[in-house]
Structure 1
Amino acid sequence: MKRLLYVLPLLWLVLWPMASQAQKFGYVDSEFLMSKMPSYAQAQAELNTLSQNWQKEVEAQKKDLDKLYRTYQAEEVLLTEAMKKKRQDEILKKEQDIKAYQNKVFGYEGQMFKKRQELTKPVQDQVFEAIEKVAKKKQLAIVFDKSGDLTMLYTNPAHDYTEFVLEELGLASEDRNQPAQKGAVRTVTTPATPGGAADDAVFDDQTPASKAPATRKPPVRKGSKPE
Structure 2
Amino acid sequence: MNKLLTWMLAALLLCAVAPVAQAQKFGYVDSEFIMGKMPAYTQAQQELNTLSANWQKDIESQKKDLDKLYRNYQAEEVVLTEPMKKKRQDEILKKEQDIKAYQNKIFGFEGQLFKKRQELTKPVQDQVFEAIEKVAKKKQLGIVFDKSGDLTMLYTNPVHDYTEFVLEELGLASPERNQPAQKGAVKSVSTPQTPAGSTDAVAEDAPAPTKTPTRTTTRPATRKN
- Tell me the C-alpha RMSD between the 2 structures: 1.7
Give the aligned partner of residue 169 of structure 1. Answer: 170
Q: Partner of 2:127: helix, strand, or coil?
A: helix
Q: 2 CA distance for matches of 1:40 and 1:111? A: 19
Corresponding residue SS for 1:26:
strand
Letter in 2 for 1:226: K
2:223 is equivalent to residue 225 of structure 1: yes
Report deviation, 1:110: 1.1
Matches within 5 A, 1:98-177: 98-174=99-175, 176=177
Letter of the structure 1 residue corresponding to residue 34 of structure 2? L
Structure 1 ranges of 4+ moved more than 6 A? none
C-alpha distance in 2 between matches for 1:68 and 1:87: 8
Q: How far apart are residue 17 of structure 1 and its match? A: 6.2
Equivalent residue for 1:21? 22
TM-score computed with the length of structure 1 as normaliser? 0.70
- Deviation, 1:18, is 5.9
Q: CA deviation at 1:46?
A: 1.1
Residue 84 of structure 1, CA deviation? 1.3
Structure 2 residues without counterparts, runs of 5 or longer? 1-16, 179-220
In 2, Cα distance between the equivalents of 1:61 and 1:78? 26
SS of the residue corresponding to residue 43 of structure 1 reads helix
Shift of 1:29: 0.7
Per the TM alignment, residue 175 of structure 1 is displaced from its structure 2 partner at its CA by 6.0
Provide, for residues 180-212 of structure 1, a one-character-per-residue CA deviation record: whole Å limited to 9, x for no partner: xxxxxxxxxxxxxxxxxxxxxxxxxxxxxxxxx
5+ long unaligned stretches in structure 1: 1-15, 178-221
User: What amino acid is aligned across from residue 84 of structure 1 in structure 2?
Assistant: K
Q: List per-residue Cα deviations over 1:148-204 (Å, max 9, x = no partner).
A: 111111111111110110010010014647xxxxxxxxxxxxxxxxxxxxxxxxxxx
State the identity as a percent: 83
Q: Relative contact order (C-alpha < 8 Å, sep 6+): which is higher?
A: 2
**What is the aligned residue count?**
167
Deviations, residues 98-122 of structure 1 (Å, cap 9, x unaligned): 0110111111111111111111111
Shift of 1:87: 1.0
Who wins on radius of gyration, i.e. which is larger? 1
